[in-house]
Structure 1
């Protein structure tokens, strides 16, 4: 799969500037777009990630999708998001884990491929009711951006945290929110932070070339502790850790990240790509207790750290 570098990420949004950013949700409609095309898919042991689908080059060209972008695959009418890799085969392919995400039977099966990843117009309430996936941007005046790529019921509470952060310190916020009936939003809508392509997320593309001085990304995980990671300086991460400790008063452990796979230090992580230096992103991984009981005070405490630096 083509690596989405920070330079190509920023360039993808440069022509859009920051004009036209919405400050609140719009209402309205349903998805199954004209960009949808049928493909036969096979389960393959050569596909290493459950988040990736292989598409034939000619098929992808006909769809207008490039390697590294995201698509919706529909099986029996139910969608899941995948990152595209291109190959020379006749059929599409996913891993065994990818097949499980689709809920497909073994062997080969037919899916509908849709290049429209986020619903373009539906409101939050309707998206929650219908099990949809949306993105939003809140404009801000500061040079800081807050992210929550896995909001809604994907990683519950994180999208609200991005908004609270932005309101507290005048930052821009970009977030996605996804739902699915009776659970399963994570399985359907989660895209790894290192794979998020701005060409698949129009509102992210609007701000991709804005040159933020710093970024913070709110996430959830199943670990019992909260971890502060990212490429930002240790001094800043320690400040954030201490600020969170102060407002949560020992309810759970707060530490600097030591998890190599979820430390937020990858150069292709969206939180780092959005910063001018590529080295000023902060990723906060939080247990459910933190998000459900302390979500707003955590977001505001982190915002105060950034605001004090700006001043």
Structure 2
């Protein structure tokens, strides 16, 4: 198979941006080419141009696109990946939520770009521990989204190598259990029931039928999108928040974004905003 030339690279970049919003800069050409080659070997294709033409044609191309996306998106993730952001939720925002929440209020969170589920389950472990001992205890739900169906399948199964257990602080390990083979652990069923997964492109997240949210957790996702789109996406996400809701981003992911109804919160180690409209949540 011949190398991917610059003209073909540009065509693939435009397609990926148009369909997912993800930007692939020239320096990441090897990453794109490697992902394409891997999938093309699986499907028996030997020419980039022929594969491209088939991909953009008809229902069969749409099905193949769903498989290709899994090869062209990054799934690097960990449990409790950015502790300062978790601590912001647990130690600063959540106590405020509990002060104003109605006795029967249910907390709703959204995890965007959840990959294989570690981030969503980290939220679930923390929320379960904190809300179950509140007076009165509160229910919660986490909706988690990603563009990769393959990643979401792994997330729904919620089974991970035992070496990953060290990523979970000891205080939260009662929410997981070792599998009989001793080589993997799984998130407990009671927590799995609290987390729902959906294949949603972040570009279209605001169109999803989501109720007003208390937490939106979106870390290390925006960096893959064009800078001019990030502000538009953040505006859309801000519109999904409850009054007093929290938007948590990855440090350094965005600069210069502001809205009169969103107030910066947290330390210099975090990048987070509160929907600055005050009213009691029900």
TM-score by length of 1: 0.29
Instruction: Using CA pairs under 8 Å that are at least 6 residues apart, name the structure with larger relative contact order, 1 or 2.
Output: 1
More helix by share: 2
More strand by share: 1
TM-score by length of 2: 0.32
